[in-house]
Structure 1
Amino acid sequence: MAEARGQSRRDLGITALVLGFFAAAWFGWSGGGAPDGWQPFLTVGSVVGLAVAVAGAVVGFRSRTATTLSQDRAASRRYGIIVGIEFAAIALGGIVLGVAGAAEYVAAWVCLVVGVHFFPLAPVLRDPLLVPLGALVCAAAVVATVVGLTTGVAASFVAGLGAGVLLLVYSSAALVRGLRS
């Protein structure tokens, strides 16, 4: 199944590692603005994300003989360019929001940029499922902004919860696909 989509067991393990780690980070970020009673759920999300990341590392690094996208120089270069642009956009937007006195929306901005970066990564990583993931992460950023502007709920909580759940589900699915391949 994984090979038909162009992804090796190693690729899927590394996907679970990276996105599981970032799921945990997003749950952590959401904790700063979490409403009362949410912290235990966010902690569980972080712990599960880290467990998926560790399991992904085991699957990925135990599959040394599998072909991997990291062996493709052109794909590695495109990946680096996309991630470099992502970091630059995050930094620039964060600075602008900070200077404008809207630092409480930095998490929503980061969430939006992360979502957008999945679109060009989908063909590079040979994973078309990154496109709907990107759309959903972008939607989480929009919802976080609207909620932050119209209610007393922190945008960082909504962005962190949304991105955390989406990345956790996606990383878990990658892990399962990697285990089955």
Structure 2
Amino acid sequence: MLTEFVRDHYFTTAWFGLMAFVWFGWSQEDPPKRWRPWLGAGSVLGIGFAVWFGVLTATNWDQPSALAGRYGWFGVLVAAEVVVAGLGCLLLARRGASRWLAWWVAVVVAAHFLPLAVLLADAGVGVAGVVQLAALGAAVPRLRATDTTTSRVAGPVMGTVLLVSAVTGAVLTVV
């Protein structure tokens, strides 16, 4: 997105497209009826970016990466994200607060974008994380006032920011 590393740019755009598909999919767990077509469209667009930029990633795999020499740190970051998300979900489930699972996973994913931005030398990844964290934090009062699943809000927040980031990556590719 905002990196000098072409391979990383393509991969991040593809990954954000794929993850937009995933988050829009999760948000279809319990959406308001009027949102369903938009969530489906977001999923389709996300897959489109994932395929398009996945092909570009594969054909540019020999290009340099910001992760060169730091793959171990990348692995530690991803492992920490999975452990924190998993433990938080376990704790929420045991407390009978399973409706908060999507929100919790979204917060962990968004927070992991901040150190990931440093590893990838890509400020765009950090901006996406900050926007997601701000939106997820702002949604808490609304979520507390209802008893619906948090995927109803967390999914569209995450999916939209990721899809906008993928679109930005695509635009930057052709400019």
Rounded Cα–Cα distance in structure 1 between residues aligned with 2:11 and 2:37: 28
CA contact (8 A) 2:3 2:9 kept: no
Amino acid at match of 2:100: Y
SS of residue paired to 1:167: helix
Q: Structure 1 residue 83 and structure 2 residue 73: aligned?
A: no
Q: TM-score, normalised by structure 1?
A: 0.89
* Corresponding residue for residue 27 of structure 1: 24
Aligned length: 175
5+ long unaligned stretches in structure 2: none
Residue matched to 2:66: 69
> Pairwise mapping of residues 107-118 of structure 1 onto structure 2 (< 5 A)?
107-118=102-113
**C-alpha deviation, 1:179, in angstroms:** 4.1
Any gaps of 5 or more consecutive residues in structure 1?
none
- Normalization by structure 2: what TM-score? 0.92
Q: Distance in 1 between matches of 2:5 and 2:105?
A: 29
User: 146-155 or 26-35, which moves further after superposition?
Assistant: 146-155
Pick from 126, 135, 152: which aligns with 1:131? Answer: 126
* 1:42 pairs with 2:39: yes
CA distance in 1, matches of 2:134, 2:43: 21
Map 1:151-166 to 2 at 5 A. 151=146, 154-166=149-161
Percent identity, aligned pairs only, is 31
Check 1:66–1:176 CA distance in 2 against 1; reply closer, same or farther (3 A cut): farther
Q: CA RMSD in A?
A: 1.7
One-letter identity of the residue aligned with 2:91: V
The structure 1 segments of at least 4 consecutive aligned residues displaced by more than 3 Å after TM superposition are: 151-154
Residue 152 of structure 1 deviates from its aligned partner by: 5.5
Question: Are the counterparts in 1 of residues 3 and 123 from structure 2 also a CA contact under 8 Å?
Answer: no
Name which of 35, 53, 57 aligns with 2:54.
Answer: 57
Q: Which whole-Å CA distance do the structure 1 matches of 2:42 and 2:61 have between them?
A: 29
